[in-house]
Amino acid sequence: MLSGLDHLVVTVTDMGRAVDFYSRVLGLDVRYRDAQRVDLMLGDTALRLHQTDTDIAPISATPTPGSLDLCLRCQLPLDEFKQHLDALAIDVELGPVARQGANGPIESIYLRDPDGNLLEICRPTSR
């Protein structure tokens, strides 16, 4: 019946700060849909940003900045991505560590966005 994920809503406290982080640090393309909605493109899937003080309906029952735990696949080797983060003074909370992804073994590093959402950046391994 279902075939994939179209978009995932990320609740943020400051749209500009979130757009800067996801575009500059993670390299996502930005698409402004209107004054209150921004899509950050991840292939053919979007991370859709909603700011907490906007009047968008419908929304989840309890939209909460910092409640997201998201794993994103990386094309670069993780040591190169970590060097990129280091150059931007972005703290890595954990990793690289071995984990199990949706389709097999992965290696991951963990960091947080400006709202405290946990972002796992992973790359498949052949273990």
- Residues 73-101 pLDDT 10s: 999 999 999 999 999 999 999 999 999 99
Annotated catalytic, 120? yes
CA distances for 53 relative to 42, 60, 78, angstroms: 25, 14, 36
pLDDT tens for each residue of 56-72: 888 888 889 999 999 99
Q: Are strands 94-101 and 104-112 parallel, antiparallel or unpaired?
A: antiparallel
> How does pLDDT run across 32-56, given as a tens digit for each residue?
988 778 999 999 999 999 999 888 8
What would the mean pLDDT of 116-123 be, rounded to a whole number? Answer: 97
- Delineate the domains of the chain, giving CATH numbers in brackets: 5-122 (3.10.180.10)
Q: Alpha-carbon distance 43 to 62, whole Å?
A: 28
76-80 long-range contacts (CB < 8 A, ≥24 apart) are 76/123, 77/123, 78/107, 78/108, 78/109, 78/121, 78/122, 78/123
Residue 127 has pLDDT above 70, yes or no: no
Alpha-carbon distance of 55 to 97, in angstroms, equals: 40
What's the whole-model pTM score? 0.93
